[in-house]
C-alpha cells in the first residue's frame, strides 16, 4: 500500500511538471491517494493533494539530509567558520530550527545545542546534538553519563542514560570545543537579520560564562551563514514547490469564479473565508490570513468599504499563500466581474495588467545571483521609469518561511533601498516571490487610476537561471 502511494504521489508531481507555464494552464488530474476522498474541486484532485503525511515526511527528511550534506559545508567554508554553535530551548527555538531538524520534530528538546565542526573537504562537517535526538541520524546525539535506573516504557532494560541537563550541557560543549580547537566560533547574533539572531540573551550568558577565555575571543556572528542556510533550496524540492503553486492557483481560480461569487450577493470576506476553508479541507496550511480587495469605478477605498458586496464591473484582487511539506507560497492575482452585456475585460484594465506583467519581466531579467537586493531594486526601477511605468517593487525570498531569509528587493515604503537587509547578496538555489504593482489610468473608467498588484513565485536554480515556479497571470480571472 505504501509503495503504491509513493508511486502515485510521484506521478502527480511528474504530471504537474509537464503543464504549460502560463495563465491558461489547466488543472492537473492525478490518481487518487489510497483512502482519500474526492473533494469535487478543481483546486486539487483529492483531499490529499500531496499524499500521505508519512510520504511527505520522508521527502522532507531527504531534503534535510541534502541541505546538511551539500549546502552547509560550502557555506561554512565561504564564511571561514570552522565551528558553529546553535543552542535553543523548548518553545524558544532559533529561526534556524526549521532548516536543521526533521519534519517529525516540532520543538527543541529541553535544551538542544547543535554543533557543526568543519573537518575539511575530505572528512566533511561533523554534526553533533548535545541534547535532543539525532534527527533521523543526521546528528550524533550526545547523552548524559548519568545512569537512570527506571526503565523506559516498554523496555526490558533496567538502565538507561539521562538526558543532558542545565549547566552540564555547557560543560559538555566546552569539552567539544577544546577537543576540536576551532579558530572561529559562529553564533547566531545579528542586529540586521532576524533569521541570524536566534541566540537568546539567557543562553548567550550561560554559554559565555561556561566557555571563558580564550574561546569567547574567537566568537563571530553567523549572519550570512545562518541566512543563506535557511534560504538555500535543493533541486529536489523544486517539483514539490511547483505543485504547491499549482494548487494555490487552482484555489484562486475557483474563488474568482461563479462557483463562489454571485454578483450583488457575495461579499469580499465570503471569498477569503471560502479560500481559508478550502485550504483547511485539503489538509494544507497557510502562513497568513488571505485578503480579497475590490477596486470599483468611481469608488475610492473609503467608498468601497472594508467588506464590500462584490458588484458587476469590479476589479478583484487577492493575496494568498499556502503551506505544505514545510514550504510556503505567496500569490497575488486579479479578477474582473463582467458587466451585463460584456464578454471580455475592458482594454484599459488589460493594459493595467500588461504593465505589471512588464514590470515582472524586468525584475526577472535583473534578478541575478551575486547582486544585492538593493542593486536589483535600483536596476529595476531605472528601467521601469524609462518605460514610463508607474509602479513599485517589493519582492522577497520565500521557502521555509513566507517572508523568507535572504536579500529584500525593496519594501513598498522603501523604494530607495533597504539598508542592511537589502545589502545581502542573492545566491543560486533560492526562491523569490516577485511582488510588485503598476498603477495605470484606465480610459473606460474616465482615466481613474487602477492598481495592478501581482505576486508570483520564482525559482533561481543551482546554475543561477531564473524561472517561474508555476507560471504568471497574464489574463484576468472572470466572474460572469
Query: Which of 104-108, 111-115, 149-153, 172-176 is the least confident region?
Result: 149-153
Asked if residue 129 has pLDDT above 80, the reply is yes
The band of 304, judged by pLDDT with boundaries at 50, 70 and 90, is confident
Beta-strand runs (E) in 45-143: 83-89, 111-118, 125-130, 140-142
Residue 43 has pLDDT above 70, yes or no: no
Instruction: Extract the C-alpha cell encoding 49.
Output: 493533494
Separation CA 443–CA 353 (nearest Å): 14
CA dist 132 to 8, 117, 169, 196, Å?
Answer: 34, 18, 11, 22
Question: Model confidence over 45-103: pLDDT tens digits?
Answer: 457 889 899 999 999 999 999 999 999 999 999 999 999 999 999 999 999 999 999 99
Task: Give backbone dihedrals phi and psi of 318, rounded to 5 degrees, phi first.
Answer: -130, 150
Give per-residue pLDDT as tens, 140-184: 999 776 666 665 565 555 456 777 777 889 999 999 999 999 999
How many CB atoms neighbour CB 4 within 10 A? 11
What is the helix (H) or strand (E) element at residue 8, kind and residue range?
Answer: helix 2-17
pLDDT at position 270 is 98
Chain-centroid distance, C-alpha 93? 18
Dump pLDDT digits (tens) for 435-462. Answer: 999 999 999 999 999 999 999 999 999 9
> What is the spatial distance between Cα 389 and Cα 353, in angstroms, rounded to a whole number?
12
Instruction: Read off the C-alpha cell for 173.
Output: 560543549
pLDDT for the residue numbered 160 = 66
Query: Averaged over 324-333, what is the pLDDT?
Result: 98
Please answer whether residues 263 and 337 qualify as being in contact, where contact means their C-beta atoms are separated by less than 8 angstroms.
yes
Percent of the chain with pLDDT over 70: 86
Coil, helix or strand at residue 411: strand
pLDDT (tens digit, 9 = 90+) per residue, 187-242?
999 999 999 999 999 999 999 999 999 999 999 999 999 999 999 999 999 999 99
Residue 34 reports pLDDT greater than 50: no
Residue 232 three-state SS: coil
pTM, to two decimals? 0.87
CA nearest to 259, candidates 36, 40, 475, 455:
40
Provide the 3-class DSSP secondary structure of residue 456.
strand
Helix intervals (H) in 193-237: 201-211, 224-231
What's the mean pLDDT in 404-425? 97
- Does pLDDT of 3 surpass 90? no
* Cβ(67)–Cβ(96) below 8 Å: no
Q: Is the pLDDT of residue 300 over 70?
A: no
**Which one, of 82, 71, 75, 79, lies nearest residue 177 by Cα?**
82
pLDDT of residue 111: 94
pLDDT at 14: 36
125-130 vs 111-118, strand pairing mode: antiparallel
The answer on pLDDT for 276 being more than 70 is: yes
Give 135-140 contacts, CB < 8 A, sequence gap 24+. Answer: 135/64, 135/100, 135/101, 135/102, 135/105, 136/61, 136/64, 136/65, 136/102, 136/104, 138/64, 138/65, 138/68, 138/102, 139/114
Amino acid at each position: 500500500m505504501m509503495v503504491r502511494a509513493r508511486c502515485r504521489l510521484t506521478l502527480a508531481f511528474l504530471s504537474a511538471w509537464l503543464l504549460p507555464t502560463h495563465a491558461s494552464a489547466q488543472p492537473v488530474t492525478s490518481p487518487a491517494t489510497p483512502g482519500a476522498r474526492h473533494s469535487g474541486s478543481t483546486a486539487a484532485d483529492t483531499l490529499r493533494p500531496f499524499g500521505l503525511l508519512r510520504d511527505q515526511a520522508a521527502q522532507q527528511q531527504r531534503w534535510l539530509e541534502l541541505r546538511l550534506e551539500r549546502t552547509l559545508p560550502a557555506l561554512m567554508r565561504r564564511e571561514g567558520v570552522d565551528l558553529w554553535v546553535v543552542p535553543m530551548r523548548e518553545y524558544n527555538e532559533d529561526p534556524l530550527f526549521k532548516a536543521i531538524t526533521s519534519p517529525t520534530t516540532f520543538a527543541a528538546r529541553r535544551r538542544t545545542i547543535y554543533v557543526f565542526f568543519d573537518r575539511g573537504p575530505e572528512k566533511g562537517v561533523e554534526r553533533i546534538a548535545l541534547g535532543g535526538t539525532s534527527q533521523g541520524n543526521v546528528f550524533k546525539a550526545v547523552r548524559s553519563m548519568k545512569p537512570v535506573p527506571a526503565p523506559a516504557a516498554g523496555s526490558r532494560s533496567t538502565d538507561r542514560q539521562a538526558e543532558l541537563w542545565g549547566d552540564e550541557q555547557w560543560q559538555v560543549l566546552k569539552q567539544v570545543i577544546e577537543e576540536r580547537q576551532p579558530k572561529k566560533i559562529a553564533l547566531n547574533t545579528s542586529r540586521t537579520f532576524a533569521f541570524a539572531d536566534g541566540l537568546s540573551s539567557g543562553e548567550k550568558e550561560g554559554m559565555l560564562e561556561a566557555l571563558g577565555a580564550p574561546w569567547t575571543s574567537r566568537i563571530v556572528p553567523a549572519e550570512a551563514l545562518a541566512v543563506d542556510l535557511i534560504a538555500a533550496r535543493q533541486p529536489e524540492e523544486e517539483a514539490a514547490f511547483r505543485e504547491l503553486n499549482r494548487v494555490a492557483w487552482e484555489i484562486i481560480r475557483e474563488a474568482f469564479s461563479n462557483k463562489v461569487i454571485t454578483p450583488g450577493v457575495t461579499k469580499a470576506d465570503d471569498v477569503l473565508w471560502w479560500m481559508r476553508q478550502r485550504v483547511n479541507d485539503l489538509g494544507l496550511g497557510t502562513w497568513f490570513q488571505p485578503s480579497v480587495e475590490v477596486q470599483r469605478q468611481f469608488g475610492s477605498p473609503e467608498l468601497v468599504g472594508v467588506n464590500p458586496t462584490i458588484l458587476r464591473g469590479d476589479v478583484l484582487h487577492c493575496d494568498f499563500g499556502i503551506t505544505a511539506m514545510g514550504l510556503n507560497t505567496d500569490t497575488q492575482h486579479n479578477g474582473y466581474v463582467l458587466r451585463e452585456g460584456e464578454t471580455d475585460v475592458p482594454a484599459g484594465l488589460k493594459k493595467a495588467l500588461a504593465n505589471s506583467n512588464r514590470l515582472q519581466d524586468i525584475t526577472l531579467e535583473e534578478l541575478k545571483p551575486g547582486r544585492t537586493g538593493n542593486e536589483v531594486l535600483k536596476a529595476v526601477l531605472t528601467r521601469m521609469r524609462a518605460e514610463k511605468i508607474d509602479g513599485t517593487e517589493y519582492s522577497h525570498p520565500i521557502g521555509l518561511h513566507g517572508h523568507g531569509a535572504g536579500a529584500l528587493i525593496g519594501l513598498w515604503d522603501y523604494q530607495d533601498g533597504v539598508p542592511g537587509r537589502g545589502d545581502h547578496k542573492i545566491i543560486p538555489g533560492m526562491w523569490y516571490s516577485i511582488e510588485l504593482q503598476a498603477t495605470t489610468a484606465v480610459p473606460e473608467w474616465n482615466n481613474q487610476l487602477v492598481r495592478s498588484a501581482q505576486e508570483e513565485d520564482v525559482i533561481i536554480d543551482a546554475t543561477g537561471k531564473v524561472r517561474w515556479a508555476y507560471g504568471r497571470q497574464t489574463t484576468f480571472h472572470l466572474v460572469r
